[in-house]
Amino acid sequence: MTDAALSANERKLLRCLLRFYREIGPGATPALKGLDEETGLERWELSEAVTGLRAKGLIEYWELQPAVRLTTEGLRAVLRLPEEGGA
């Protein structure tokens, strides 16, 4: 997956999830409620980013919470992204 295959909002969400991963650990599964504020996205933008990243296999999604978590592929993808200033 190339950086160009990700929307700006998908990149923002991946970077946010990486912060949770680094602070909490690989099992970090932040709830979607409040994640819009963490990422700086509107709720509809967050919803679109979640849908896109799920379709690409970069995040897992739990409907009951609802919450998300980076997959191994998602972690690899976000680590290849340029620094935030470049996105």
Q: CA distances (Å), 13 to each of 28, 48, in order?
A: 14, 10
Domain for residue 87, yes or no?
A: no
Contacts of 63 (CB under 8 A, 6+ apart): none
Domain for residue 34, yes or no?
A: yes
Domain for residue 61, yes or no?
A: yes
Domain for residue 31, yes or no?
A: yes
User: Which residue is listed with tokens 């849908």?
Assistant: 51
**Six-digit token string for 4:** 């160009």
Which pLDDT score, from 0 to 100, does residue 63 have? 87
Which pLDDT score, from 0 to 100, does residue 68 have? 94
Domain for residue 49, yes or no?
A: yes
User: What CATH number is attached to the domain comprising 64?
Assistant: 1.10.10.10
> How many folded domains does the chain comprise?
1
Q: Which residue range is the domain that position 48 belongs to? A: 3-82
pTM here is: 0.86
**Would you place residue 64 in the very low, low, confident or very high pLDDT band (cuts 50, 70, 90)?**
confident
The type of residue at 39 is T
